[in-house]
Structure 1
Amino acid sequence: MAVVRQRRQLNLQLSLPESDRCPRFPLPLPPAAAPSDLDRLQVLGHGNGGTVYKVRHKRTDKIFALKVVHGDQVFREMEILRRTDSPFVVQCHGVFEKPSGDIAMVMEYMDAGTLDTLLQKKWTFSEQKLAHIAAQILKGLSYLHAHKIIHRDIKPSNLLVNSHMQVKISDFGVSKIMCRSLDACNSYVGTCAYMSPERFDPETYGGNYNGYAGDIWSLGLTLLELYLGHFPFLQPGQRPDWATLMCAICFGDPPSLPDGVSEEFRSFIECCLQKESSKRWTASQLLNHPFLGKDLRSE
């Protein structure tokens, strides 16, 4: 007998089962009641099954980012965004379903793009700037981890930035809420270049694996990439493949820091890039690391 699959109906209230004990924060009311209330100004980027546009709300002239996503990963992202209320996590202002069935999320607009955007523009990042960036990301991760959320895809292109160098964590399409159990947290579809050793070889590097340490590894690689101007495990311009990355991450030496870096920065990176996950510092511990004491305003 043929099974008729009904078209899903989007519940903008995003109600969750009463048995879910994780804290929940309601999404603000959307600034637009319909897609027709938004003017698309330009495409900001593509990826993860969707497109992000810069849009203007007609009635208020406010600028937002409109993320149009195809596929079920949007429901995971919506569930996480409705739970979060942090100045270091991108804000979602509303959600609606388009006639095509795609889901559109009205997001906070960050006018400088992502940290990857700045890398592509050949920005240089001093230790003072990196300390400023790291502190913001760590505050975001500390908040997420305290609410049992693992991001699982920290990388420059998922870290939004504005012209005031405020940094916010975005893109929760492969994230995990650890409210019920640790089961299934090993299933991962993020970017393998930033995956920690325990993702490839949990028996050797897992230790007391809880999932959160993977975000710290990715943060360490991200900061090194910003400092070096290229991905740490590869030569400038080298195109990565899965096998090369796996061997470099699991069996190679940790990425080397150039001469001239401060002991605080060297120590901070070492605390992030411990191959054994149990030896990595937590986000809360790293917030007290001496490296973050560098003053951005001294530049």
Structure 2
Amino acid sequence: MFKSSYSILRICDIRSDSVCRSVVNGITSVQDRMERRQNKGESRLKDIQKSTISSTNRVRSNQQPHQNSVKEVKPKSTGAFKSRTIEKTKFRYFYDRGDLPLRVNFNGAVRKVQWQVDITTLDYTHYLPLFFEGLRELDEPYKFLALNGTLDLLEKGGDRPLTTIPHLILPMKQNLMTRNPLVLCIQMKVLQKLVLLCPYAGEALVPYYRQLLTIFNLFITKRVNCGDAIDYGQQRNENLGDLITETLYILERHGGEDAFVNIKYMIPTYESCVIKGIDHTKLKQVSLLGRGCSGNVVKAHDSKSNKFYAIKTVNNVYDKSQRNQIITEIQTLYSIRIPWLVDFYGAYFKDQALSLILEYCDMGSLDNVVKKIGPIPESILACMTFQILSGLQHLQNQRHFHRDIKPQNILLTTTGYVKLTDFGLARELNGTFDMANTFVGTFKYMSPERVVQSIIEGPPPALSDKEFSDEFRDFLDACLKKNTRDRSSADELLYAPWLEIHEATGCFQN
């Protein structure tokens, strides 16, 4: 029995060992499978990362040449300045058929146009538009006959072309629309002749500016820039930009009051050559008003309007300082129009000198008035001061200041107006807190901080108590404060008691 039990235990031990081994083998196999899976997952993750990096590099490499190719692409040309195809005109058709009463005369060294009939007997309504259409012909002899025939009709036609202007608009527009530089130059020259030779033709063309000036605006900046070379086209008057500008000047001068507004509407960059329509060639010099180191001022008369003007002439326009001063004066007078500044009517260049047409003040400068009649009463002086301060206040509001206020630059009229003049030293403020640090002006009338130190440290000017009122002395004291912070501005001085006592505002309005 004992043996049997031992054998049973032995069998159990053997079975337990086998079970343990199987369990251990199973666990080991599971661990091996997990390690293999983990290694396989890590290798797979590395493969994915490598593929991601390679694909990113591939995308970047593909994007780089694409960006470069975009930068190198140039925009397509619209062809706005490209010449259009010129078709055969009716002028060529009628000439080949023998219906035009002219031919080329080759007698002599120069070609000439020989008319077979009297020009004055021709029907301008039929022939003149036909010749205008032939101006875009580039082949000979059509080009020669159309140009010279048109000029003959304009020169000998008097006022007859005026009635044909509505019929000339279409051929002129078609000539301009060719965008051919040679045709454009020919059309500009003929248009100038039409306005200059035919009375009232300039005014008759104003309603048609919108049809003609479109091409003007397109080509007005076309100027030849050949560097140091010589442009012989200037001698032949074939510089297109200059020719267009010259044509616009003629249209404005002869187009009446509405010419400038209509030109400006079609060509926003155009600047007027005649501000108020005063022709300087019609002004007759009467007398000399003043003379200076850089020029003079003369009195001139316009017989048409029976008005007088002052013409200020600057001789040395090649001197940079003189040129800058005159340009500054023109800009100030042109941009600001108030009753207390002299009116500006235009400028012109003649005989190497630049002249300004200004308002004529019949009483002259305040300096001359004081020399003639002596001291001015306080009541009248208050009215004059109010106007001067009003002008300075308006200049300051427009960010300008005069910098040379003195009796010589204050003009008077018999109607009671006081005018400021001579803005050659004026300056425009670029910012609210901008200041002028340049030392310009007349020494005797400069502010204390702009002159020598001894004047700053010395006593201020004083007036007699017996000859002047207390309000007037207080007014001058406010003007002559040495500290700029204590000195009154033009806005503050306009409400000074001295001006209110003498009713300066009422005197000016009356």
TM-score, normalised via structure 1 length: 0.71
Pairing 1:257–2:463 present: yes
- Paired with 1:184 and 1:275, the residues of 2 have a C-alpha distance of 18
Alpha-carbon spacing, 1:264–1:183, altered in 2? closer, same or farther (3 Å): closer
- Asked whether the equivalents of residues 81 and 92 of structure 1 are also in contact (C-alpha less than 8 Å), the reply is yes
The Cα offsets for residues 99-134 of structure 1, whole Å up to 9 and x where unpaired, read as 31x211111111000100112214221111111111
Pick one of 386, 389, 392 that aligns with 1:138.
389
What letter corresponds to residue 29 of structure 1 in structure 2? I
**What does residue 120 of structure 1 align with?**
371
**What does residue 356 of structure 2 align with?**
105
Count of aligned positions: 233
Alpha-carbon spacing, 1:248–1:160, altered in 2? closer, same or farther (3 Å): farther
- Asked whether the equivalents of residues 370 and 376 of structure 2 are also in contact (C-alpha less than 8 Å), the reply is no
What displacement does 1:186 show? Answer: 1.4
What letter corresponds to residue 195 of structure 1 in structure 2? M
What letter corresponds to residue 372 of structure 2 in structure 1? K
- Paired with 2:296 and 2:380, the residues of 1 have a C-alpha distance of 30
148-157 or 44-53, which deviates more: 44-53
Pick one of 35, 57, 63 that aligns with 2:308.
63
Structure 2, unpaired ranges of 5+: 1-227, 230-241, 253-271, 316-321
Higher relative contact order (CA 8 A, sep 6+): 1
What displacement does 1:83 show? Answer: 1.4
**What does residue 409 of structure 2 align with?**
158
Alpha-carbon spacing, 1:27–1:160, altered in 2? closer, same or farther (3 Å): farther
- Paired with 2:486 and 2:431, the residues of 1 have a C-alpha distance of 25
- Paired with 1:144 and 1:48, the residues of 2 have a C-alpha distance of 27
- Asked whether the equivalents of residues 27 and 92 of structure 1 are also in contact (C-alpha less than 8 Å), the reply is no
What displacement does 1:263 show? Answer: 1.5
Greater helix proportion: 2
**What does residue 40 of structure 1 align with?**
285
What displacement does 1:58 show? Answer: 3.1
Q: Secondary structure at the match of 2:459?
A: coil
Pairing 1:81–2:330 present: no
The percent of aligned pairs where both chains have the same amino acid is 34
What displacement does 1:171 show? Answer: 0.6
Structure 1, unpaired ranges of 5+: 14-25, 201-245
The Cα offsets for residues 31-62 of structure 1, whole Å up to 9 and x where unpaired, read as 4334x311110111123622111100132221
Q: Secondary structure at the match of 1:80?
A: helix
TM-score, normalised via structure 2 length: 0.42
- Paired with 2:475 and 2:483, the residues of 1 have a C-alpha distance of 16
Q: Secondary structure at the match of 1:82?
A: helix
- Paired with 2:444 and 2:470, the residues of 1 have a C-alpha distance of 26
- Paired with 1:103 and 1:264, the residues of 2 have a C-alpha distance of 45
**What does residue 292 of structure 1 align with?**
499
Alpha-carbon spacing, 1:251–1:47, altered in 2? closer, same or farther (3 Å): farther
Pick one of 256, 260, 266 that aligns with 2:473.
266
Structure 1 residue runs of 4 or more that deviate by more than 3 Å after TM superposition: 180-184, 246-249
Q: Secondary structure at the match of 1:121?
A: helix
- Asked whether the equivalents of residues 402 and 423 of structure 2 are also in contact (C-alpha less than 8 Å), the reply is yes
What displacement does 1:198 show? Answer: 1.5
What displacement does 1:95 show? Answer: 1.1
Alpha-carbon spacing, 1:283–1:184, altered in 2? closer, same or farther (3 Å): closer
- Asked whether the equivalents of residues 186 and 199 of structure 1 are also in contact (C-alpha less than 8 Å), the reply is no
- Paired with 1:112 and 1:248, the residues of 2 have a C-alpha distance of 37
**RMSD over aligned Cα atoms:** 2.9
Pick one of 427, 438, 452 that aligns with 1:187.
438
The Cα offsets for residues 62-92 of structure 1, whole Å up to 9 and x where unpaired, read as 1011111233110010011111111011111
Pairing 1:279–2:498 present: no
Alignment of 1:198-209 (within 5 A): 198-200=449-451
What letter corresponds to residue 464 of structure 2 in structure 1? P
- Paired with 2:415 and 2:302, the residues of 1 have a C-alpha distance of 23
- Asked whether the equivalents of residues 429 and 435 of structure 2 are also in contact (C-alpha less than 8 Å), the reply is no
47-56 or 73-82, which deviates more: 47-56
**What does residue 347 of structure 2 align with?**
95
- Paired with 1:287 and 1:184, the residues of 2 have a C-alpha distance of 23
Q: Secondary structure at the match of 2:425?
A: coil
What displacement does 1:164 show? Answer: 3.0
**What does residue 26 of structure 2 align with?**
none
- Asked whether the equivalents of residues 50 and 69 of structure 1 are also in contact (C-alpha less than 8 Å), the reply is yes
- Asked whether the equivalents of residues 89 and 169 of structure 1 are also in contact (C-alpha less than 8 Å), the reply is yes
- Paired with 2:274 and 2:368, the residues of 1 have a C-alpha distance of 28
What letter corresponds to residue 255 of structure 1 in structure 2? P
Q: Secondary structure at the match of 1:288?
A: coil
- Asked whether the equivalents of residues 161 and 168 of structure 1 are also in contact (C-alpha less than 8 Å), the reply is yes
